[in-house]
């Protein structure tokens, strides 16, 4: 058997599930299979709470690790070698494994960490570590043991009749497998925040669909393309995504002509929420998701959020609500959306931006302003005008 053709995948929170654990594990296996489907010669199986990925030997480890570690629900992944659970065989495999580490990484010190999941195995973990350590010392003359700060930790994991040997655990994102927590409609702008919000909800198992508003011809087709490119980055984690694209300009014009200037932003936001709710209902989404963050801008003060929420009945998830902007930016960098988000294209919110937006709107006043508009007709017309774009993963 080739040495690099098996990967141990550990589940995160999925392992804590009680009765539903098999369902979560099965969903996770399906997700991993999907993420590997474009790579021929891979198989995914489940055994004793672990997931194993086996691949043809010519497939680079980096490719497998990248595709698997981005699946939500994966806690960590280890490229490994396997052998029979027999101390001589484990010793030989460990020596071969370490010779390769010496050649590739120039390691000089090591420590064996043994684990015996199979408690019927007659030798206890500390003794396994000692015996295998001694065999490695004999087989790899350049190596010394360092129990405090070794260059390489050699993990020996005994399970039933098979033993797995590896030296690294590459972290995944954790979370729960996609599809285990309903479907949400994300209000997706071209900014930094909303792609992160979408990613965070998807990480908890939620399938994501998106609605994007533009103000063409005030906003350019290039701005819309940027949103599609952002969605494609998010889709790398969430799978294919449908975006509902809606021109908000007719509504913005009505607001500007009929309502007080300082209320423009909050009024526009309420229309966005109403339209998003309608689109969400039509597409069987259970929640709205936004990238709002308490106090970040005028429309995200506590008062503004209360007034925004009051026009919809569907729950509105705001996963970034209590985060600092710098931390949101760090997350955007980590998931790979940041560079795209900061490309300078106008957003529909910046069209007709009031000079002094109200930061403490009162619901009665806002409702008075809206009474001058035919809200239902405007919302219906906007929903009817939607264009749908499908983003591949």
Residues 6 or more apart whose CB falls under 8 angstroms from that of 310 comprise: 363
Residues 6 or more apart whose CB falls under 8 angstroms from that of 129 comprise: 112, 113, 114, 156
Contact pattern from residue 117 through residue 156 relative to ligand ATP, giving x for each residue in contact according to CB under 6 A and a dash for the rest:
----------------------------------------
Cβ-contact 289, 188 below 8 angstroms: no
Pick from 35, 93, 189, 290: which binds Mg ion (CB under 5 A)? 189
For residue 374, which phi and psi values (nearest 5 degrees)?
-90, 80
* Rounded-to-integer distance, Cα 121 and Cα 262, Å: 74
Nearest residue (CB) to Mg ion, 191 versus 336: 191
Pick from 27, 93, 290, 337: which binds ligand ATP (CB under 6 A)? 290
- Tell me whether residue 212 is annotated as binding: yes
Tell me the closest approach of the beta carbon of residue 211 to ligand ATP, in angstroms.
6
Which helix (H) or strand (E) is 141 found in, with range? none
Tell me the closest approach of the beta carbon of residue 250 to ligand ATP, in angstroms.
15
Tell me the closest approach of the beta carbon of residue 240 to ligand ATP, in angstroms.
19
Cβ-contact 31, 72 below 8 angstroms: yes
- Tell me whether residue 173 is annotated as binding: no
- Tell me whether residue 213 is annotated as binding: yes
Cβ-contact 283, 185 below 8 angstroms: yes
What is the C-alpha radius of gyration for the chain, rounded to an integer number of angstroms?
A: 27
Tokens for 34, please give them: 């999907």
Tokens for 104, please give them: 């590739």
Which helix (H) or strand (E) is 26 found in, with range? helix 21-36
- Tell me whether residue 116 is annotated as binding: no
Between the CA of residue 240 and those of 208, 236, 295, what are the distances in Å? 9, 8, 32
Look at residue 296 and give the partner it binds from Mg ion, ligand ATP, none, a contact being a CB closer than 5 to 8 Å depending on partner kind: ligand ATP
Does residue 188 belong to the site contacting ligand ATP (CB under 6 A)? yes
Considering only residues 196 to 215 of the shown chain, the ones binding ligand ATP according to CB under 6 A are 211-213
Does residue 191 belong to the site contacting Mg ion (CB under 5 A)? yes
Considering only residues 212 to 231 of the shown chain, the ones binding ligand ATP according to CB under 6 A are 212-213
Does residue 215 belong to the site contacting Mg ion (CB under 5 A)? no
Look at residue 292 and give the partner it binds from ligand ATP, Mg ion, none, a contact being a CB closer than 5 to 8 Å depending on partner kind: ligand ATP
- Tell me whether residue 188 is annotated as binding: yes
* Rounded-to-integer distance, Cα 96 and Cα 134, Å: 14
Does residue 349 belong to the site contacting ligand ATP (CB under 6 A)? yes
Nearest residue (CB) to ligand ATP, 117 versus 321: 321
DSSP string computed for 252-271: HHHHHHHS-GGGHHHHHHHH
Cβ-contact 28, 37 below 8 angstroms: no
Cβ-contact 174, 12 below 8 angstroms: yes
Pick from 291, 319, 357, 361: which binds ligand ATP (CB under 6 A)? 291
Tell me the closest approach of the beta carbon of residue 257 to ligand ATP, in angstroms.
21
Look at residue 308 and give the partner it binds from ligand ATP, Mg ion, none, a contact being a CB closer than 5 to 8 Å depending on partner kind: none
* Rounded-to-integer distance, Cα 72 and Cα 355, Å: 42
Tell me the closest approach of the beta carbon of residue 264 to ligand ATP, in angstroms.
12
Number of residues that bind ligand ATP (CB under 6 A): 20
Chain residues in the site for Mg ion (CB under 5 A): 189, 191, 347
Chain residues in the site for ligand ATP (CB under 6 A): 187-189, 191-194, 211-213, 272, 290-292, 296-297, 299, 347-349
């Amino acid at each position: 058997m080739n040495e690099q053709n098996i990967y141990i995948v550990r589940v995160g929170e999925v392992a804590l599930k009680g009765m539903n654990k098999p369902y979560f594990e099965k969903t996770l296996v399906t997700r991993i299979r999907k993420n590997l489907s474009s790579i021929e010669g891979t198989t995914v199986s489940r055994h004793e709470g672990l997931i194993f990925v086996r691949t043809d030997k010519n497939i680079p480890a980096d490719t497998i690790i990248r595709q698997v570690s981005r699946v939500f629900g994966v806690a960590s992944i280890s490229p490994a070698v396997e052998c029979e659970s027999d101390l001589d065989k484990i010793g030989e495999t460990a020596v071969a494994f370490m010779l390769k580490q010496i050649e590739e990484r120039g390691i000089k010190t090591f420590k064996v960490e043994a684990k015996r999941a199979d408690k019927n195995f007659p030798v206890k973990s500390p003794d396994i570590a000692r015996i295998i350590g001694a065999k490695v010392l004999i087989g790899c003359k350049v190596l010394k043991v360092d129990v405090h700060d070794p260059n390489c930790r050699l993990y020996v994991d005994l399970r039933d009749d098979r033993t797995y040997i590896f030296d690294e655990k590459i972290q995944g994102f954790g979370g729960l497998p996609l599809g285990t927590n309903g479907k949400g409609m994300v209000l997706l702008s071209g900014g930094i925040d909303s792609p992160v919000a979408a990613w965070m909800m998807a990480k908890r198992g939620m399938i994501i669909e998106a609605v994007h508003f533009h103000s063409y011809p005030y906003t350019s087709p290039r701005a819309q393309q940027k949103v599609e490119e952002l969605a494609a980055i998010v889709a790398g984690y969430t799978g294919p995504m449908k975006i509902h694209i809606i021109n908000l300009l007719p509504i913005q014009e009505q607001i500007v002509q009929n309502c007080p200037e300082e209320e423009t932003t909050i009024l526009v936001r309420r229309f966005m929420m109403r339209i998003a709710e309608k689109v969400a209902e039509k597409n069987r989404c259970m929640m709205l998701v936004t990238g709002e963050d308490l106090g970040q801008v005028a429309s995200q003060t506590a008062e503004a959020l209360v007034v925004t929420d009051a026009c919809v009945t569907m729950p509105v998830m705001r996963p970034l609500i209590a985060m600092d902007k710098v931390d949101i930016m760090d997350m955007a960098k980590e998931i790979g959306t940041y560079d795209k988000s900061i490309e300078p294209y106008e957003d529909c919110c910046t069209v007709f931006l009031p000079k002094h937006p109200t930061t403490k709107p009162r619901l009665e006043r806002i409702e008075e302003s809206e009474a001058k508009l035919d809200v239902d007709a405007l919302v219906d017309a906007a929903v009817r005008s939607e264009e749908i774009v499908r983003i591949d993963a």
